[in-house]
Amino acid sequence: MKKLLLFPLTILSFSVSAGFINPAEFNGSEKQKEEVISYIRERVKKDYCQRIDMCQESMLRMMETENLEAFKRLTKAKDKKVLDRAIHDYCGRVDMCSYQTIEMMYDENVKAKNKELSW
């Protein structure tokens, strides 16, 4: 009986993150390209239609494009450890898992990595 109760929770948690492709693991296949585009469309719609009520077609297309461009830049990220941490923090800890957010935090963390506090 316990297994039957846990099964729907497992499917629900999987479906929420289904389709996310780690840019460092992107192989360029048509299947992965379709998955990335599908994930971006769903994510942008969730963020702009369900969360902040800015569900205009022009806004959705603009943000989809921004996220796809961010994904493409992230495929060239040099520091996989920093990228993985940004993904962990923004996709695992909080629900801010857009490629645009991940890219912004990746860039900031790469910059911060080489800085030290000083007067």
What is the pLDDT, as a whole number, of residue 93?
84
Alpha helices in 1-119 (DSSP H): 2-17, 30-45, 57-74, 80-87, 99-113
Residue 36: count of CB within 10 angstroms of its CB: 21
Assigned token pair, 34: 């379709």
Q: Which of 8 and 97 is assigned the larger pLDDT?
A: 97
Q: Give SS3 for 81.
A: helix
Tokens 């996310």 — which residue?
Answer: 20
Q: At what angle do helices 99-113 and 80-87 cross, to 10 degrees?
A: 130
What is the pLDDT, as a whole number, of residue 114?
87
**pLDDT score of 16 more than 70:** no
- Average pLDDT for 70-78: 98
**pLDDT score of 11 more than 80:** no
Q: What pLDDT digit, counting tens, does each position of 18-52 carry?
A: 489 999 999 999 999 999 999 999 999 999 999 98
